[in-house]
């Protein structure tokens, strides 16, 4: 045991003891108590409750309500480390609970499922409905539709698209949902904006 008398050996021994203690504690936290700590972390990941004081009601001279209060709440869903199946299951349970409570769910996801199981963007449906209302084929592009409107209203073919748009608006009060700058339907631009927020390819199907 003469080696223990040397100072650097004493330091080395102390470090080895500390490392052993840390490894034992790490094993205890990750393996023995790992599942308990994981559940605890999930339960406290996000927990916010906001309570605002109600605004006063406005009554007329006869005591009838003119302006009242309607409480509203927002639910933020934190996925944490959950898998997609679990996220979908919990989201469905929450939606069913809200509906049973008589609440209205505002679903702003611009994707709808057909009866045959296929999916499509609501943007495309809006475009097709507008084309049908204008007695145009639903496969018309924005440029096709704009040229058709020009022809129907006798817009001079010598005018460029910006001049033609100005004439349609100022003379005929026609405002087609088309961006002549990009020569795209406005709904197409909204779709690109939606996909861009999630860094997805603009050509990605629903």
Instruction: Identify the pLDDT of residue 204.
Output: 84
94 alpha carbon, distance to own chain's centre: 17
For residue 95, what pLDDT is reported?
Answer: 85
pLDDT at 79: 67
Half-sphere exposure of 115 (CA within 13 A, CB side): 0
User: Which region, left, alpha or beta, applies to residue 136 given φ > 0 means left and ψ of -120 to 50 means alpha?
Assistant: beta
pTM above 0.95, yes or no: no
The CA-based angle 197-75-102, given to 5 degrees, is: 120
Print the SS3 string covering the chain: CHHHHCHHHHHHHHHHHHHHHHHHHHHHHHHHCHHHHHHHHHHCCCCCCCCCCCCCCEECCCCCEEECCCCCCCCCCCCCCCCHHHHHHHHHHHHHHHHHCCCCCCCCCCEEECCCCCEEEHHHHHHHHHHHHCCCCCCCCHHHHHHHHHHHCCCCCCCCHHHHHHHHHHCCCCCCCEECCCCEEHHHHHHHHHHHHCCCCCCCCC
Rounded to 10°, the helix 161-170/142-152 angle is 50
10-residue mean pLDDT series, the chain (206 residues): 67 85 81 70 61 72 78 69 80 86 82 86 93 94 95 92 93 93 94 90 84
Cβ within 8 Å of residue 82, ≥6 positions away: 90
Contacts of residue 49, defined as CB under 8 A and 6 or more positions apart, other chains included, come to none
- The pLDDT of residue 151 is 93
Give the C-alpha separation, 196 to 202, whole Å.
7
Tell me, what's the pLDDT at 83?
79
Between CA 179 and CA 143 the distance in angstroms is: 10
């Amino acid at each position: 045991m003469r080696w223990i008398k040397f100072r650097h050996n004493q330091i080395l021994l102390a470090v080895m003891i500390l490392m052993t203690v840390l490894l034992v504690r790490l094993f205890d936290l990750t393996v023995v108590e790992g599942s308990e700590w994981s559940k605890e972390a999930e339960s406290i990941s996000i927990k916010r409750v906001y309570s605002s004081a109600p605004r006063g009601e406005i009554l007329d001279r006869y005591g009838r309500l003119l302006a009242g209060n309607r409480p509203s709440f927002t639910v933020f869903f934190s996925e944490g480390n959950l898998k997609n199946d679990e996220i979908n299951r919990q989201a469905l349970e929450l939606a069913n609970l809200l509906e049973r409570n008589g609440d209205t769910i505002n679903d702003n996801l611009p994707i709808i499922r057909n009866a045959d199981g296929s999916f499509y963007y609501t943007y495309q449906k809006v475009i097709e409905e507008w084309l049908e209302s204008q007695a145009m084929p639903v496969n018309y592009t924005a440029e096709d539709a704009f040229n058709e409107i020009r022809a129907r209203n006798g817009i001079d073919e010598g005018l460029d698209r910006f001049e033609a748009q100005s004439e349609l608006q100022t003379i005929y009060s026609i405002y087609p949902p088309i961006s002549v700058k990009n020569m795209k339907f406005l709904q197409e631009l909204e779709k690109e904006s939606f996909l861009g927020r999630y860094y997805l390819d603009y050509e990605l199907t629903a």
